[in-house]
Chains A and B, each alone.
Chain A
Amino acid sequence: MNDTYELRSGDTHIEVHKFFPGAVAGVAIVALILQASFPVYLPKLDILDLPLLITIYFGLSRRNPSTGLLLGMVIGLAQDALSGPTVPLGFYGIAKTIIGFLASSIGARLDTEHPAARFSLTVAFFVLQQAILVLTRRILMAQPEPWFNMHLAVAAAVNAILGIFLYIALDRLRRNQ
């Protein structure tokens, strides 16, 4: 199996990246463990959403909507499972499934390797995830939830900045590198 291949979209040629075996699963597990540990040891870091960053990164890199949405679903469901009994299974799962699908779809059409593009996309996906979560809470769970506030804006920016560096680190797991 080739490490990389090119996705032809109009006149642009976008690389589709492959990763070392177990890299995706390993990174996702580590992200979930860290995410579950932040509130215990570093409460101020609870604004970080590492599972979301991982979902975005692998979606943008692998550029396969089917695998992207499946990876988002698995990560989201795992995050649900680790979030305690107050969060029903599927709460994060639905949001990250959609994020994974959209990230893969966008990654298949645009070059998302530039840090500025990654920053913008991370902010957009963070906001979108928040919208999906609020919709889920309001419509399905009939619970009041603010659409957006300054805390979430800061969280979106912090996650996007962290994402730039995290994505660079994760780029080293690509086979073509």
Chain B
Amino acid sequence: MVAIPSRHKSLSLLAAVLLAQLLLLAVQIKRDSHGRLIRVWAITAVSPFERSGAWGFDKVRGVWRHYFALQATSHENEALRVENDALKLAITQLQAKSAEADRLAELLSFRNSHKDVPMLGARVIGASAGTASRTVEIDRGERDGIRRDMAVITPDGAVGKIIEVYRDNSQVLLLTDKEGGAGAMLIESRIQSPVVGTGEPLLSMKYVANDDKVNVGEKVVTSGMDKIFPRDIPVGTVQEIKPGMPFKTILLHPAAKLNRLEDVIVLLSLQALEPPTDATAPSSESNSSSAPANPSAPKPAAPVKP
């Protein structure tokens, strides 16, 4: 009698023989995109271990770098802090330059859109020392053709008028000063009335009768009646209306940023600027009062290039 091999032995032999032939097949079969199958299998089998090894190595290296090898970190930290401070300063300077560039671009755009009106760009170099008056000093004076009572504006709106002229400097009385003001009119109702300063950030529009209809948010522009500002330059926006007797008390928010002036435009003549698109010619029918006459009307100056 011949001994019959055990079933486990046969199964083991079957598995070994099949495995050997599978490997033989894998060596021969070549996939177009991945090369020989045996290589695909080998890489597939090994790559998880490689990934695990790489992950573990990265973790160990990370722990070493972040918790043990910190000798140079303090110096590096100090150097980075210094560099950070320098960068903050540089950013601040760049932001200032950028803001200045924006302002100048705005002025240039305004000037280009009113080429036929003689005007002069000026930089604000000082302000009033006390709170009793609201004036600023600009870097243009008599030599530049500036005269008293010339209008000062920004692309946003009216600023004030020249009150003192020196050789190279001038002083500007802002609309918000108690002595400041301009002939103005409501843009929708065409009601004309002088706007005066209050010594506060807001302007006041006087002599508007109680019967006249005024809406909060309504725009106010110059009327040109004061012989200082050309007509249709934005003055402000109605912010608050209080009934009074016989006139309303109307407070305006200035159109120009009077508390943050840096660059302004001095109009060298009374020639009217081109009106804004939403402005129309003033109507005299709805006038409730006329702007006060200005006894010191400016003499038109010769056009001067900025």
The interface of chain A, by Cβ under 8 A from chain B, is: 1-2, 5, 7, 16, 64-66, 69-70, 73, 77, 88-91, 93-94, 97-98, 101, 104-105, 108, 136, 140-142
Contact = CB atoms under 8 A, between A and B. Distances in A.
Contact of A142 (B13, B28, B31): B31
21 contacts: A5-B2, A65-B5, A65-B10, A65-B14, A66-B9, A66-B13, A69-B10, A69-B13, A69-B14, A70-B13, A73-B17, A90-B28, A91-B25, A94-B21, A94-B22, A97-B14, A98-B18, A108-B4, A136-B25, A140-B25, A140-B37
Contacts of B21: 73, 77, 89-90, 93-94, 97
Given A88-B28, A88-B29, A64 B18 contact: no
Contacts of B2: 1-2, 5, 16
A5 B14 contact: no
B25 A88 contact: yes
A161 B243 CA distance: 119
Interface of B: 1-2, 4-5, 7, 9-10, 13-14, 17-18, 21-22, 24-26, 28-29, 31, 37
A101 B7 CA distance: 11
A94 B25 contact: yes
Contact of B10 (A1, A88, A90, A101): A101
Given A16-B2, A65-B7, A89 B18 contact: no
B242 to A, nearest CB: 89
A104 B17 CA distance: 16
Nearest to A143: B29
B9 to A, nearest CB: 7
A95 to B, nearest CB: 10
Instruction: Say whether chain A's binding surface is mostly helix, strand, loop, or mixed.
Output: helix
A94 B18 contact: yes
Contacts, number: 66
A35 B9 CA distance: 32
A89 to B, nearest CB: 5
Contacts of A97: 14, 17-18, 21
B1 A2 contact: yes
6 tightest A-B contacts by CB? Answer: A65-B10, A88-B28, A90-B21, A90-B25, A90-B24, A93-B21
Contacts of B37: 140
Nearest to A96: B21
Contacts of B7: 65
Contacts of A101: 10, 14
B25 A64 contact: no
B263 to A, nearest CB: 75
Contacts of A1: 2
A15 B31 CA distance: 48
A93 B14 contact: no
B17 A5 contact: no
Given A66-B10, A66-B13, A69-B14, A90 B5 contact: no
A143 to B, nearest CB: 10
A12 to B, nearest CB: 15
Contacts of A93: 21, 24
Nearest to B2: A5
Nearest to B33: A142
Contacts of B13: 65-66, 69-70
A136 to B, nearest CB: 7
B1 A64 contact: no
Nearest to B12: A66
Chain B CB within 10 Å, residue with most, of A5, A104, A140: A140
B31 A90 contact: no
Contacts of B18: 94, 97-98
B1 to A, nearest CB: 5
A96 to B, nearest CB: 10
